[in-house]
Amino acid sequence: MANALRTYEHVLIARQDISSQQVDALVEDVTRTIQSLGGQVGKTEIWGLRTLAYRIKKQRKGHYALLNIALPPEQVDELARRQGINEDIIRFKTIKVEKWDEEPSPILARRDREERRRARREGRDGEGADLGADQI
């Protein structure tokens, strides 16, 4: 039972001055690290560049990513050690969960709702602008 995989949610914050492509590569690297430690990665969400609640290592913003991972418990410390060495990662947190939530996280759900609202608003504004131009 020592090698049984446990489920975790792993959130990391990368420096604000790296590009989105570098964030994608960083998440892929973390995924490879987890797999090399005998774990698995479920859902991965990249939340994008967000403002931090307070400065961390002189950074005001950070690129957030969430990974659902399954990992032997004895490997969690090794994952933390490797993340601590990486200069692009300014914070990370691994939380044990009973099971993974397959639904989009509240962060992504809110972003999707806001984008749908914006699209509806722009659709109505665009139609109104067209009608006004036709009537002139």
Does residue 19 form part of some domain?
yes
Over residues 10-64, the pLDDT tens digits come to 999 999 999 999 999 999 999 999 999 999 999 999 999 999 999 999 999 999 9
pLDDT beyond 80 at 1? no
Q: What CATH number corresponds to the domain at position 96?
A: 3.30.70.60
What's the pTM? Answer: 0.76
pLDDT at 122: 83
Residue 30 sits in the same domain as residue 10: yes
Taking a C-beta distance cutoff of 8 angstroms, is the pair 70, 99 a contact? no
pLDDT beyond 90 at 4? no
pLDDT at 54: 92
pLDDT at 2: 52
Q: How far apart are CA 83 and CA 30, in angstroms?
A: 8
Residue 66 sits in the same domain as residue 15: yes
Residues 6+ apart with CB under 8 A from 27: 44, 46, 65, 67
Residue 26 sits in the same domain as residue 59: yes
Over residues 91-125, the pLDDT tens digits come to 999 999 998 777 777 777 777 778 888 888 887 65
Residue 75 sits in the same domain as residue 130: no
Q: Which spans in the chain are helix H? A: 20-36, 76-85, 106-135
Does residue 28 form part of some domain?
yes
Residues forming a β-bridge with 11: 66, 93
Does residue 43 form part of some domain?
yes
Number of compact structural domains in the chain:
2
pLDDT at 115: 80
pLDDT at 104: 76
Residue 37 sits in the same domain as residue 83: yes
* Alpha carbon distances (Å) from 91 to 10, 61, 104, 121: 11, 12, 22, 37
Residue 61 sits in the same domain as residue 71: yes
Residue 72 sits in the same domain as residue 22: yes
Over residues 74-92, the pLDDT tens digits come to 999 999 999 999 999 999 9
Task: Tell me the residue range of the domain where 57 lies.
Answer: 6-101
pLDDT beyond 80 at 130? no
Structure tokens at 23: 């964030």
